[in-house]
Amino acid sequence: MKQLLYVMPGALFGAGLVLSGMTNPAKVIGFLDVAGGQWDPSLAFVMAGAIAVFGVMNQLIHRRSEPLMKGKLPGQWSDTGVTTQGLVGAAVFGLGWGLSGICPGPAIASLASGHVEIFVYITGLLMGMVVAQQVFDVDAPKSADSGDFQERLGDPVAS
């Protein structure tokens, strides 16, 4: 039963992606093609709609102290600052997105479409993620041994 509550938001997200047109690479490219004579600004409405709804929900949800199921709420506001790594990563992402018109969510939402391009794209996606994680140590687990280190040091007050 709780599995349904894990699946359902994902399904709603997937439905939103399809209905919005984000799963159509041609539509994404049409949105990015600002300078072309055939600019399609539709996808701006996708992000606007999503931010409007989630922006409000984020505020309301943080009146609670914890989520409805097990887990913890992250802080109400993000504390992610602007970093060189962040900008470089965004630029590389933008390069791939501009070349294909596909980003991660729409790719997964389109898995059942049977298009070979989606399988090829996801293969590349996984490869790229692994490189970032293994070669550049991205997504490293939070230092799990900081607690142990402290224990090994001993309580600094009681010596």
Partner 1 sequence: MDWAHFTPWSALLGGVLIGLATGLTLLLNGKIAGISGVLGRILRPQEDDSFWRLSFLVGLALGGALTVSLVPGAGAMVFPKTGGLLGILVAGVLVGFGTRYGGGCTSGHGVCGISRASKGGAAATVTFMVVAGLVVFATRVLVSGGAS
Q: What x/- string results for residues 22 through 41 when contact with partner 1 is judged by CB under 8 A? A: xxxxxx-xx-xxxxxxxxxx
Nearer to partner 1, 98 or 151 (CB): 98
Residue 49 or 151: the one with the smaller Cβ distance to partner 1 is: 49
Site string for partner 1, 51-90 (x = CB under 8 A): xxxxx-xx--x--x-xxxx-xxxx-xxxxxxxx-xxxxxx
Residue 6 found at the interface with partner 1 (CB under 8 A)? yes
- 91 to 150, contacts with partner 1 by CB under 8 A? 91-105, 107-113, 115-117, 120-133, 136, 138-142
Place of tokens 């309301």: 60
Query: Scanning the structure block, which residue is given the tokens 């409805």?
Result: 68
Q: Is 45 helix (H, G, I), strand (E, B) or coil?
A: helix
Name which of 81 and 156 has its Cβ closer to partner 1: 81
- Residue 98 to residues 63, 85, 103, 111, 128, Cα–Cα distance (Å): 39, 20, 9, 20, 16
**8 Å CB contact between 98 and 30:** no
Q: Which is nearer to partner 1, 139 or 155 (CB)?
A: 139
- Answer yes or no: are the C-beta atoms of 43 and 21 closer than 8 Å: yes
Q: Report the residue from 1, 3, 146, 149 that binds partner 1 according to the rule CB under 8 A.
A: 3
Burial, 46: exposed, middle or buried (Cβ in 10 Å; 0-12, 13-18, 19+)?
Answer: middle
